[in-house]
Amino acid sequence: MSQFKKIGLVGRLGSEAAYYSLQRLILFLQKQGVEIFLDEETAASAPVTKLPRLERDALADQCDLVIVVGGDGSLLSTARSMCRTGVPLLGINRGRLGFLTDILPEEIERKVGAVLEGRYISESRFLLDCHVYRGGQLMSSGTALNDVVLHPGEYIRMIEFELYIDKEFVYRQRSDGLIISTPTGSTAYALSVGGPIMHPGLDAIVVVPLNPHTLSSRPIVVHGDAEIRVVVGDQRDIRPHVTCDGQTHQVTTVDDEIVVRKKPEKLCLIHPEDHDFYEICRNKLGWASHSGNGY
């Protein structure tokens, strides 16, 4: 008997390929005798009508497992809304890279079946809480599984800010912005601007400058429990934006403070039992394959 009795499904909106895989997944799960619930937002746009529907918060509260059919962006969105409950997430890839959604569509029956039988790897990923203050007053809050980014917004202009880590001054910088990334996000935006790849099991945060005016400015890796504070400088005619996973955003002004810390709640992510982080890196990033002469 599967330990997962109630399974929630979330699909990538507007994707016919995701809807096809969602239907295939539903047919398979129905044969396993589990209760299936469909995310309300997914059901509103998907050609699936006979399953019970739940709002995403209710889905997280009532299900033993949530399966996301889509890309990493779909899983990021689901993770931000469901991490408070600790419900495990499993991803079926109908996007592009698939660092988080690591089951291929043609593997649904075999690999989801193995998960239901208890053959899987479970890992914990931490998220970031982001708070923006103005004159000591909280203006906005956000959650990120990948990264918190300070950037110029609609203008391609350098911005100025000060960086503090655990209340210690680090530097004042002029650049296109700053990325504050978890290990999960280290293979996303941070990687594209020269940040290090971090194993997802690390308890660390990386701070990556975006095209800094000073070439000696490099990524800094700090402890996962560090408090990172960014103070926005005088930008004259632009107002930098703060985004969490490229979704929620806040427009800032001079002297605003952006405070980023590890979120108390963690994401439980499930992988097939043959999951291999380095194999995913080889496949997704084009690394050379094994020569056969090693271990």
CB 125 within 8 A of CB 266: yes
Residues 6+ apart with CB under 8 A from 185: 144, 145, 146, 147, 179, 245
72 assigned to active site: yes
- Find where tokens 């400058």 sit: 209
**DSSP secondary structure code for residue 103 in this structure:** B
CA distance to 1, 36, 81, per residue, from 5 (Å): 9, 9, 21
Residues 6+ apart with CB under 8 A from 27: none
CB 204 within 8 A of CB 222: yes
Q: Which of 39, 57, 61, 72 is catalytic?
A: 72
Q: Are strands 6-11 and 35-39 parallel, antiparallel or unpaired?
A: parallel
Comparing CA positions, the residue from 43, 11, 18, 98 lying closest to residue 280 is: 98
CB 256 within 8 A of CB 232: yes
The separation between the first and the last C-alpha atoms of the chain, rounded to the nearest angstrom, is 37
- CA 55/CA 59 separation, integer angstroms: 6
Query: Nearest 5°: phi and psi at 69?
Result: -105, 105
Catalytic residues: 72
